Chain A
Amino acid sequence: MKRDQFTLFVAPSVIIMVLLMVLPLATAIILGFHRLTFTNINNPEFVGLQNYIEVLTDSRFWNAMGFTLIYTAVTVPLHIVLGLAVALLLDQVKYLRGFYIAGALLPFIVTPVVGTLMFRLTFERGGLYTYLLSELLDSRVNFFLDGTTVTFLVLFHGVWYITPFAMIVLFAGLQTLPKDPLEAAKVDGATWLQRMRHVILPHLRSLFLFIALISIMDAYRVFDSIFVLTKQNPIYGVETIMYYNYEVALSFQRLGKANAMSVLTVIGIFVVLIPFLYITYRQQTETT
Chain B
Amino acid sequence: MRKLVPFLLIAILVLAGGVVVSAQDEAACNIAAPSAATSIDMIGWSFPITDLYADALEACNEVENLNVNTQLLTSSDAQGQVRLALSGGGESPFEIVHADDGFILEMATNGWAMPLDDLIAEYSEAYGLDDIPASLFEAATIDGQVYGIPFTANTMHFFYRTDLFEQYEIEVPETYDDVIAACAVLSEDPTLILPFTMNLHAGWAWRTEFHNFLGSFGGEWLNEDSTPAFNNEAGVAAVEKMLEVVDACMGAEGLTYSIDDSEIGMEQGDLAMVNIWASRAANMDNPDLSNFVGIIGFAPAPRANPDGPFSGPAATDFYVIPANTPVDPDLIFQVIMEAVDVETQTAAAELGIVTRTSVAESGVGGRYLEAASRTIAEGVGNYGDDPAVAIARVAIENNLPRVITEGLSPQEALDAAAAEYVTEATAQGFLE
Contacts and interface: CB of A to CB of B under 8 A. Distances in A.
Interface stretch (B27-35, B81-89, B357-365): B81-89
Contacts of B84: 38, 250
Given A35-B427, A38-B110, A234-B401, A252 B201 contact: no
Interface stretch (B133-141, B172-180, B254-262, B327-335): B254-262
B80 A39 contact: no
B4 interface: no
Interface string A126-140: 100000000000001
Interface in B399-427: 401, 404-405, 424, 427
B253 interface: yes
A231 interface: yes
Nearest to B258: A231
Interface in B82-123: 83-84, 87-89, 110
For chain A, which range describes its interface: under 10, 10 to 19, 20 to 34, or 35 or more residues?
Answer: 20 to 34
Nearest to B81: A250
A5 B76 CA distance: 51
Contacts of A140: 193
B203 interface: yes
A145 B427 contact: no
A145 B80 contact: no
B203 A232 contact: yes
A82 to B, nearest CB: 29
B179 to A, nearest CB: 21
Nearest to A45: B427
For chain B, which range describes its interface: under 10, 10 to 19, 20 to 34, or 35 or more residues?
Answer: 20 to 34
A37 interface: yes
B253 A142 contact: yes
Contact of A234 (B87, B253, B261, B405): B405
A41 B397 contact: no
B243 to A, nearest CB: 13
A41 B256 contact: no
B86 to A, nearest CB: 8
A237 interface: yes
Given A40-B428, A45-B427, A233 B87 contact: no
B258 A253 contact: no
Contacts, number: 69
B83 A253 contact: yes
Contact of B405 (A35, A126, A145, A237): A237
A235 interface: yes
Contacts of A67: none
B252 A235 contact: yes
A210 interface: no
Contacts of A42: 88-89
Contact of B87 (A35, A41, A235, A251): A41
A231 B202 CA distance: 8
Given A38-B110, A42-B89, A234 B252 contact: no
A61 interface: no
Nearest to B90: A42
A146 B254 CA distance: 11
Interface string A22-48: 000000000000010111111001000
A251 B76 CA distance: 8
Contact of A252 (B89, B270, B394, B401): B394
Contacts of A45: 427
Contacts of B203: 232, 234, 251
A233 B394 contact: no
A38 to B, nearest CB: 4
Q: Taking each of A35, A140, A146, A233, which has the highest tally of chain B beta carbons within 10 Å of its own beta carbon?
A: A233
16 contacts: A38-B87, A39-B110, A39-B428, A40-B428, A126-B264, A140-B193, A145-B256, A146-B252, A232-B76, A234-B203, A235-B404, A250-B76, A250-B80, A251-B76, A251-B204, A253-B394
Given A251-B397, A251-B398, A252-B397, 15 more contacts: A37-B424, A39-B110, A39-B428, A42-B88, A45-B427, A125-B193, A125-B270, A140-B193, A231-B201, A233-B201, A235-B404, A237-B405, A250-B83, A251-B203, A251-B204
Q: A-B pairs with the 10 shortest C-beta distances?
A: A38-B87, A234-B401, A250-B80, A232-B202, A41-B87, A38-B83, A233-B201, A235-B255, A144-B256, A234-B405
Interface of A: 35, 37-42, 45, 125-126, 140, 142, 144-146, 231-235, 237, 250-253
